[in-house]
Structure 1
Amino acid sequence: MNRATQTVTMTLLAAALAACTTVGPNYKVPQDAILNRPAANAPFLGASGTPFQSAPLPPAWWRLYQDPVLERLIVQAFAANTDLRMAAANLQRAHAIVEQVEEKKTPDVDAKIAPQYGRVAGSSLGIPEVLPRTGLYEGDIRVSYQVDMWGRIKRAIEAVEADADAAQAASDLAHVTVAADTTRAYAEACSAGYQLKVAQATLDLQQRFIQLTGERIRRGRGTALETSRAQAQFEQLRANLPPLEARRRVALYRLAVLTGAVPGQFPVDVAQCATPPRVAAAIPVGDGAALLRRRPDVRQAERQLAGATARIGVATAELYPNISLGASFGGVGMNSQFNDANTWKWSLGPLISWNIPSPRSARTRIAVASAATSAALARFDGVVLNALRETESALTIYARELDRNAALRAARDQSALAARQSARLYQFGRTDFLSQLDADRTLAASESALAGSDAQLALDQVQLFLALGGGWETTRAVAAAVAVKS
């Protein structure tokens, strides 16, 4: 009993020491990380204009469009998009790995029973007689527990939990991308429809001009050359239609695939859309601090840095021995002796194993883990800088396109006025054919440029929302609600 007491005491002492020894660095975001710089958390330089407001970006930013068709498409994409399904599978795998590693914290239980029939050699028992054949049995229940003396298991769990957090951020990033891609495809389809509408209206005006020219020729006030020139301009305008139709079809095919359908099953109502989606009000953009908290790629890079830091501890713990606590209870003997006191056996004690590494290989493993952490920090800083750059760029591009759009709209209005005035003068013979032809050509170019700018504004808005990194919050809220119900 004294020996058993000593063994239990040593075991408990080893367990107590395990609770207070964890090798490797404890993770926290480095103080010199770019994320902590005041300039990275400041208001955006490009958000000072009237198109923007400092209010926080709403989670479901696509509702700012107030477009039921767009909302329906994004719901469909979130439910059926193949990239999101793959991201969900990767997240499940990451959580399964966490559970697998956490199992090392729990004791292992192994039970064995082996009934046999045969004869025991009498000499092995010190008996000269030949023993008869009989039934034999052997059974054991063994319990082992690995003492995490140096924090190897703790650091491993920290690493895989950080990996799971990074997988969650990757899933969130996939939702942001799918929401933006769906909105972009919808905007491109509607913008192409709008440009087709404008091009067709311009073509109809040119057709009426050709008819007017023919009437003037029949009255002897024009020549066949004027008809040829007017017809040539008509054909040139008509050449703009096929590329626009192709753009609309390609956008519809992409929209179908984004929502989990085959390309030919694109939404029929979107095929009829001829109004580019636009957020008319000032866009809420927040500031740099809110952006860096919201963007999933920043969170993913930070979690990858945390995982790399934890793996330094895992590598360091390889320098120290493994300690396992074990206990077993069982019996062995002949069936006729079952439950006799001399057939029972038990043991209790620690098992210490140590694969003594060479100092060089140990330093190499730690150096590899440390280098991976340095690379993860560099990537983290790069992701933060890129997030700020993308957002500032998107803000600037959108604001300047608004300025361009306003100038093109003013030019279109003046071109339309000039075309009306020229048409009136041409009708009464106060100006020549070439002046009228040039006025119509200028108006057609102005209408086309304005329609192109309207389409570009729709795409620039989507790019801005993508850079702001919102849209994943709603899916996380739905997933949490489903988990609570289940």
Structure 2
Amino acid sequence: MTSIRVAAPLVLLLLSGCVVGPDHTAPRISLPTKFAEGSKASNGDVAMNAWWTAFGDRRLNGYLEQGLSQNLDVLQALERINQAQASVVSAGAGSLPSLDLGSQAERSGSKDIGGNAGALAASTPQTSVSGGLSASWFLDLFGLYRRSKEAALANLDAAYANVDIARLTLLSQVASAYIDVRYYQERIAIAQQNLGSRRETLNLTKLQLEAGAASRLDVVQSEGLVNSTLADIPALETQFRQAAHRIATLLGLPASSLVSELQKRSGGQPVARFNPKSGIPADLIRNRPDIRAAERALAAAVAQVGVAEAQLYPAITLGGSITPSYTKSGAAEAGLLSWSFGPSLSLPIFDGGALRANLSSSESAAREAYLAWKETVLNGVEEVENALAAVARDGRTVSALRATVKSYQEALQLATASYRDGASSLLDVLDAQRQVSTAQANLAQAVQQMAQDYISLNVAVGGGYAVGKTVAPTKVALVVKN
């Protein structure tokens, strides 16, 4: 008998170390050793790389710094960390002993108030006091709560990664909106410049009409081009304001807060002065927070498989209670102390297949989470490849369009001079003006696109989200098969 008493606690101790369900391992994926248009050099950790400084725009730098500290999406993501931390505590609490204390007191009696004591008898006042102390402890023999806490910890890691996602998204949105602001300002400036040129042509045509060297048709055509330019400007001003409103909202400010400030141009369209580096595909596993979040979601799903499997096994709970009570009625007093202690066993025998179905569902959810992680990785690779392809060609487009603008401007000067001398028609001047206007608009759009592609590449490689961050990003070691 003594040996059994000694062996029983040892058996329970051994069982307490048993955790059912699969253990999470680093997911694997085959990736190329380099991007198609990239190098074989690794980027390392680019989380602290302030890539936007390549634009040399202090106002943009200030907006991004301000946004990282007060963007509402980032602040909401930070609050979800607090929620995830509370969930970790809640998930692990079930495996710890619980202790509850309760008490109550009561005084009762009756008194004759009708003068007819025979009808209703009065009673002596009675005082009763009782209390209770109850304790219970769920023996987590198969890791039900340990797997639950494991899942909660993985979700906490994912919450930290989601903050990084919010910060990276903010960088992309603010920088892109700022590029749009400067683009529309450039388009407005071009339109106003062209408007001045076309008004000069209109005035010249009117003089030619008075001299008999031009027709009324020429004047009307010139007026039409002036009015067409005037019609373009309001739409550009609207788009400028919409982009400015977007920046303000991203910074947690009322929409019109930055319009007057952004109307003050500090230079031309932003152009990045540094060559971006793509790194290698394996860098994305470490640097992109959305991939880390997907991996942590996979870890949580795998842990939930263990939770579902643990529910198939017996559950043992140790419980006990102590209940003292005291009663006094007149001169009589009585006290009682009652107690109880013992284990309770719950064993699922027949549940219509619900527990097995829950396990099957959890296993399927884990497989889905792996596929989601794999898809996130491949989407990241695609985004970098697309951005690299664009960045590699944007410079050539811009150079060609600069030459185009220069050629058309020279053609306009020649056509205007020839028209003044009466050697050519007004139609040649108007066509040259349209060509200059179109080429200038195309150039401004190409410069805008070059800046946007630079932003897209740096965001795609996961750069810059940890700049100014007080909490270090969560790092997850994953396995990549090249």
Q: TM-score, normalised by structure 2?
A: 0.84
Using a 3 Å threshold, how does the CA distance of structure 1 residues 323 and 415 change in structure 2: closer, same or farther? same
For the Cα contact (< 8 Å) 2:278–2:384, is it kept in 1?
no
Tell me the residue number matched to 1:93: 83
Deviations 1:93-138 (A, max 9, x none): 122111111222322112234456689xxxxxxxxxxxx9975554
In the alignment, which of 297, 304, 327 is matched to residue 290 of structure 2? 297
Q: Secondary structure at the match of 2:99?
A: strand
Equivalenced residues, count: 453
What is the CA distance between 1:155 and its match in structure 2? Answer: 0.5
Using a 3 Å threshold, how does the CA distance of structure 1 residues 158 and 185 change in structure 2: closer, same or farther? same
For the Cα contact (< 8 Å) 1:419–1:440, is it kept in 2?
yes
Using a 3 Å threshold, how does the CA distance of structure 1 residues 213 and 335 change in structure 2: closer, same or farther? same
Using a 3 Å threshold, how does the CA distance of structure 1 residues 396 and 374 change in structure 2: closer, same or farther? same
Tell me the residue number matched to 1:143: 135
Task: Provide the C-alpha distance between the structure 2 equivalents of 1:208 and 1:240, rounded to a whole number of angstroms.
Answer: 18
In the alignment, which of 230, 240, 265 is matched to residue 232 of structure 2? 240
Q: Does 1:107 align with 2:97?
A: yes
For the Cα contact (< 8 Å) 2:416–2:429, is it kept in 1?
yes
In the alignment, which of 414, 419, 424 is matched to residue 412 of structure 2? 419
Within-5 A mapping of 1:64-79: 64-79=54-69
Task: Provide the C-alpha distance between the structure 1 equivalents of 2:125 and 2:203, rounded to a whole number of angstroms.
Answer: 118
Tell me the residue number matched to 2:156: 164
Task: Provide the C-alpha distance between the structure 1 equivalents of 2:197 and 2:467, rounded to a whole number of angstroms.
Answer: 48
Which segment drifts farther, 430-439 or 444-453?
430-439
Using a 3 Å threshold, how does the CA distance of structure 1 residues 15 and 220 change in structure 2: closer, same or farther? same
For the Cα contact (< 8 Å) 1:151–1:313, is it kept in 2?
yes
For the Cα contact (< 8 Å) 1:172–1:472, is it kept in 2?
yes
In the alignment, which of 221, 224, 229 is matched to residue 216 of structure 2? 224
Within-5 A mapping of 1:318-357: 318-326=311-319, 328=321, 331-332=324-325, 349-357=342-350
What is the CA distance between 1:269 and its match in structure 2? Answer: 1.8
Task: Provide the C-alpha distance between the structure 2 equivalents of 1:64 and 1:180, rounded to a whole number of angstroms.
Answer: 14
Using a 3 Å threshold, how does the CA distance of structure 1 residues 38 and 263 change in structure 2: closer, same or farther? closer
Task: Provide the C-alpha distance between the structure 2 equivalents of 1:235 and 1:139, rounded to a whole number of angstroms.
Answer: 91
What is the CA distance between 1:61 and its match in structure 2? Answer: 2.6
Tell me the residue number matched to 1:470: 463
Higher helix share: 1
For the Cα contact (< 8 Å) 1:53–1:283, is it kept in 2?
no
In the alignment, which of 426, 444, 458 is matched to residue 437 of structure 2? 444
Identity among equivalent positions (%) equals 28
Task: Provide the C-alpha distance between the structure 1 equivalents of 2:7 and 2:343, rounded to a whole number of angstroms.
Answer: 8
Which segment drifts farther, 349-358 or 231-240?
349-358
Using a 3 Å threshold, how does the CA distance of structure 1 residues 55 and 117 change in structure 2: closer, same or farther? closer
For the Cα contact (< 8 Å) 1:185–1:251, is it kept in 2?
yes
Tell me the residue number matched to 2:112: none
Q: 2:77 is matched by which residue type in structure 1?
A: A
Tell me the residue number matched to 2:308: 315
Task: Provide the C-alpha distance between the structure 2 equivalents of 1:456 and 1:320, rounded to a whole number of angstroms.
Answer: 60
Task: Provide the C-alpha distance between the structure 1 equivalents of 2:192 and 2:26, rounded to a whole number of angstroms.
Answer: 58
Within-5 A mapping of 1:52-67: 57=46, 58-67=48-57
Q: Secondary structure at the match of 1:351?
A: strand
Structure 2 runs not aligned, ≥5 long: 110-123, 330-334, 474-482
Q: Does 1:46 align with 2:37?
A: yes
Structure 1 runs not aligned, ≥5 long: 120-131, 337-341, 482-486
In the alignment, which of 201, 211, 218 is matched to residue 209 of structure 1? 201
Runs of 4+ in 1 over 6 A off after TM superposition: none
Tell me the residue number matched to 2:402: 409
Q: Does 1:275 align with 2:268?
A: yes
Which segment drifts farther, 374-383 or 269-278?
269-278
Using a 3 Å threshold, how does the CA distance of structure 1 residues 433 and 111 change in structure 2: closer, same or farther? closer
Deviations 1:301-331 (A, max 9, x none): 1111111111111111111111223455564
Q: 1:298 is matched by which residue type in structure 2?
A: I
For the Cα contact (< 8 Å) 2:245–2:259, is it kept in 1?
no
For the Cα contact (< 8 Å) 2:81–2:156, is it kept in 1?
yes
Task: Provide the C-alpha distance between the structure 2 equivalents of 1:331 and 1:241, rounded to a whole number of angstroms.
Answer: 87
Tell me the residue number matched to 1:392: 385
Using a 3 Å threshold, how does the CA distance of structure 1 residues 112 and 444 change in structure 2: closer, same or farther? closer
Task: Provide the C-alpha distance between the structure 1 equivalents of 2:24 and 2:133, rounded to a whole number of angstroms.
Answer: 40
Q: 1:360 is matched by which residue type in structure 2?
A: G
Q: 2:181 is matched by which residue type in structure 1?
A: A
What is the CA distance between 1:26 and its match in structure 2? Answer: 0.5
Task: Provide the C-alpha distance between the structure 2 equivalents of 1:401 and 1:238, rounded to a whole number of angstroms.
Answer: 30
For the Cα contact (< 8 Å) 1:111–1:142, is it kept in 2?
yes
For the Cα contact (< 8 Å) 2:31–2:281, is it kept in 1?
no
For the Cα contact (< 8 Å) 1:165–1:300, is it kept in 2?
yes
For the Cα contact (< 8 Å) 1:189–1:271, is it kept in 2?
no
Task: Provide the C-alpha distance between the structure 1 equivalents of 2:225 and 2:304, rounded to a whole number of angstroms.
Answer: 70
Q: Secondary structure at the match of 1:282?
A: coil
Q: Secondary structure at the match of 1:292?
A: helix
Task: Provide the C-alpha distance between the structure 2 equivalents of 1:10 and 1:108, rounded to a whole number of angstroms.
Answer: 26
Using a 3 Å threshold, how does the CA distance of structure 1 residues 56 and 146 change in structure 2: closer, same or farther? closer
Task: Provide the C-alpha distance between the structure 2 equivalents of 1:78 and 1:335, rounded to a whole number of angstroms.
Answer: 68
Task: Provide the C-alpha distance between the structure 1 equivalents of 2:43 and 2:418, rounded to a whole number of angstroms.
Answer: 52
Task: Provide the C-alpha distance between the structure 2 equivalents of 1:399 and 1:101, rounded to a whole number of angstroms.
Answer: 50
What is the CA distance between 1:63 and its match in structure 2? Answer: 2.7
Deviations 1:208-230 (A, max 9, x none): 22223333344443333322222
Using a 3 Å threshold, how does the CA distance of structure 1 residues 144 and 468 change in structure 2: closer, same or farther? same
Q: Does 1:197 align with 2:189?
A: yes
Task: Provide the C-alpha distance between the structure 1 equivalents of 2:105 and 2:233, rounded to a whole number of angstroms.
Answer: 86
Task: Provide the C-alpha distance between the structure 2 equivalents of 1:56 and 1:366, rounded to a whole number of angstroms.
Answer: 39
Tell me the residue number matched to 1:183: 175
Q: 1:234 is matched by which residue type in structure 2?
A: V
What is the CA distance between 1:162 and its match in structure 2? Answer: 1.3
Q: 1:81 is matched by which residue type in structure 2?
A: N
Q: 1:409 is matched by which residue type in structure 2?
A: R
In the alignment, which of 15, 21, 24 is matched to residue 24 of structure 1? 21
For the Cα contact (< 8 Å) 2:42–2:283, is it kept in 1?
no
What is the CA distance between 1:185 and its match in structure 2? Answer: 1.4
Deviations 1:418-461 (A, max 9, x none): 22233333333343333233222222221121122222223333
Q: Secondary structure at the match of 1:291?
A: helix
